[in-house]
Structure 1
Amino acid sequence: MRHVVSPAKGYAKWEGREATFVDCRFALGQPQSGFDAYATEHIPGAYYLDLEKDLSAPKREDGAGGRHPLPEVDALARVLERIGVSNGRCVVAYDDQGGAMASRLWWLLAYLGHDEAYVLDGGFAAWKRAGYPTASGVEPLPEEAGRFEPRVRADWVVTADDIAARRDAISAGRVVLLDSREESRYRGLSEPIDKVAGHIPGARHSFWKANLDAEGRFRTVKEQMQRFEPLQGAEEIIVYCGSGVTACPNVLALREVGFTNVKLYAGSWSDWISDDSRPIATGNG
């Protein structure tokens, strides 16, 4: 089942009122900018969910859980109900960050057992280029809230302790640890966000933006299969990034091409370095 939907198919769902559209635009360091962009122009009927207020739990002072901890399950369910989402209701998420923020919502919905979730390919820009309608202002909440019962897939998530327990399997290549950040951050050459540079020992590198073609759309299934060919045969693939957000496009792409053993290290690098006793690697290995 594909979870990336083209603007044309998204428009068909929008026109038939078959889906709830969610605007996920967000910029790190400019937390208000996403909502401002939504209020200025958005897909008609779309609701706005904020990465840090709605799709993450508050950060802990000790850094455990990372910069964007997973939201509490019941709290997220209530957020979804507020915008009219019920079990089985189709949800189409979009952003203007190459699907990074929209994929976070896709992953959270899938984690809660909700499979009718999609990312709009090319985001809001592709919607506009196609000439589809837009609106401004803030959409009123639906008169009738949804009824959402989470069915949590706990095996979709791993912790730092889980990774430590898999150290030998990672070294042997049976378990693949995949770092989704820019190469310079993976290699420890720069770190513009977190307090420590480098990567988790044994991790391979696959920048999440390699999912996208020159037009900013997800690559074809054939191209993605070629990209992830070296991962065939792995018992398990654990994906991480800086805070568990931009890893989600890689999780999405892997599942799009048939990998079923894909898990997210939700706390990611920012959680890993919250404990000074955990090892750190630099360079290409």
Structure 2
Amino acid sequence: MNNIVPIKWVLARMCESDIVIVDCRFQLGKPLSGREAYKESHIPGAVYLDLEQDLSAPVDPDGHGGRHPLPDAAVLADRLGKAGISNETRVVAYDDQGGAMASRLWWLMKYLGHEQVYVMDGGFTAWKNAGCPVSAEQKIIVPARFLATVQHNMLVEVDEVRESLGTGRFVLVDSREAPRYRGEAEPIDRVAGHIPGARNVFWAEGRGPDGTWKSADEQAARFAGVGLSQNDDVEIVVYCGSGVTACPNVLALREAGFSRVKLYAGSWSDWISYSGNPIATRDEEHQSKA
């Protein structure tokens, strides 16, 4: 099955006993807005997981690990269990941020060895616009046991990225908007630019005009625009500002048939926390043509 499921798929299965629907809505700069939106209205039976409280670790004072560090695997496994998620559960994640937050949960669960996790296409607004039911009632959660089997091969650390520069070991994909990639604007992090050699593919362009995810062929075309082909024997490392909006690009690459895809979870905010790391501020040869 694909990693992205349509609203009709969720509607038909939402009451099945092995399904847990997770509301991941979150707005950067407004940390309470997602939980407040959930309390007001959500898919019936959905539980809420917060990007910063549940799906990230506390920020290091030195900035190492980035603005949204990966949560400890054991801590996250315990949190998933408290949300009623076991190793047998089918998990459906949704948000209202173009799939960025839902993709974070999708990636984290894959990282913990859980395969049955999906992102709902279109998000909560599309669910409501389709006339599907919503509720303000919060589900009574029966805790479960979730055991993590960490997939270390899905992740790269800053040292690996630094040592790979100029060697061709990785192809780096920067998921941020082009002005941030080029160093022309930086509204969030203290330093502008990108990791030298990175190719720019803005994550939000993985969706069509109606807000739904593009097809596998269309996703493949996005990455072909920066010289990437499924037939290439290369490892792709995806990053963004803090490791969150890189996740929808990881998902898009998977949908397009790329198998050797890793996440640099600390991303740009981690990279610039080390004073010796090189920074580029010009267009690279393979910047996205999209």
Structure 2 CA distance, aligned partners of 1:110 and 1:251? 11
**Mapping 1:100-119, distance limit 5 Å:** 100-119=100-119
Matched, 1:88 2:83: no
Helix, strand or coil: the match of 1:228? Answer: helix
Return the TM-score normalized by structure 2. Answer: 0.94
Q: Compared with structure 1, are the counterparts of its residues 74 and 211 closer, same or farther at alpha carbon in structure 2 (3 Å cutoff)? A: same
Other-structure match for 1:235 = 234
Matched, 1:208 2:203: yes
Matched, 1:179 2:171: no
Other-structure match for 1:25 = 25
Structure 2 CA distance, aligned partners of 1:130 and 1:7? 8
Other-structure match for 1:168 = 166
Structure 2 CA distance, aligned partners of 1:254 and 1:240? 13
Helix, strand or coil: the match of 1:93? Answer: strand
Gaps of 5+ in 2: 285-290
- Whether the 8 Å CA contact 2:93–2:119 is kept in 1: the answer is yes
Matched, 1:246 2:210: no
Q: Compared with structure 1, are the counterparts of its residues 234 and 196 closer, same or farther at alpha carbon in structure 2 (3 Å cutoff)? A: farther
Structure 2 CA distance, aligned partners of 1:214 and 1:133? 24
Structure 2 CA distance, aligned partners of 1:126 and 1:234? 38
Structure 1 CA distance, aligned partners of 2:7 and 2:17? 15
Helix, strand or coil: the match of 2:124? Answer: helix
Helix, strand or coil: the match of 2:14? Answer: helix
Structure 1 CA distance, aligned partners of 2:265 and 2:214? 24
Shift of 1:226: 1.8
Shift of 1:271: 0.1
Structure 2 CA distance, aligned partners of 1:40 and 1:84? 21
Other-structure match for 1:63 = 63
Return the TM-score normalized by structure 1. Answer: 0.96
Shift of 1:227: 1.8
Helix, strand or coil: the match of 2:21? Answer: strand
In the alignment, residue 179 of structure 1 is paired with which amino acid?
A: D
Other-structure match for 1:269 = 268
Deviations 1:127-178 (A, max 9, x none): 1112111001433322xx21111111001000110011211234xxx52100
Aligned residues between the structures? 280
- Whether the 8 Å CA contact 1:175–1:234 is kept in 2: the answer is no
In the alignment, residue 203 of structure 1 is paired with which amino acid?
A: A
In the alignment, residue 106 of structure 2 is paired with which amino acid?
A: W
Deviations 1:69-97 (A, max 9, x none): 00000000011000111112100000000
Instruction: Report percent identity of matched pairs.
Output: 55
Matched, 1:44 2:39: no
Shift of 1:234: 4.5
Other-structure match for 1:221 = 216
Helix, strand or coil: the match of 1:237? Answer: strand
Other-structure match for 1:259 = 258
Deviations 1:178-212 (A, max 9, x none): 00001110000000000000000000000000100
Helix, strand or coil: the match of 1:97? Answer: coil
Structure 2 CA distance, aligned partners of 1:218 and 1:169? 33
In the alignment, residue 149 of structure 2 is paired with which amino acid?
A: R
- Whether the 8 Å CA contact 1:176–1:234 is kept in 2: the answer is no
Structure 2 CA distance, aligned partners of 1:103 and 1:217? 14
Gaps of 5+ in 1: none
Structure 1 CA distance, aligned partners of 2:31 and 2:173? 27
Helix, strand or coil: the match of 1:169? Answer: coil
Query: What is the alpha-carbon root mean square deviation over aligned residues?
Result: 1.1
Helix, strand or coil: the match of 1:26? Answer: coil
In the alignment, residue 58 of structure 1 is paired with which amino acid?
A: P
Structure 2 CA distance, aligned partners of 1:283 and 1:196? 14
Structure 1 CA distance, aligned partners of 2:15 and 2:256? 29
Other-structure match for 1:152 = 150
Other-structure match for 1:74 = 74
- Whether the 8 Å CA contact 1:236–1:262 is kept in 2: the answer is yes
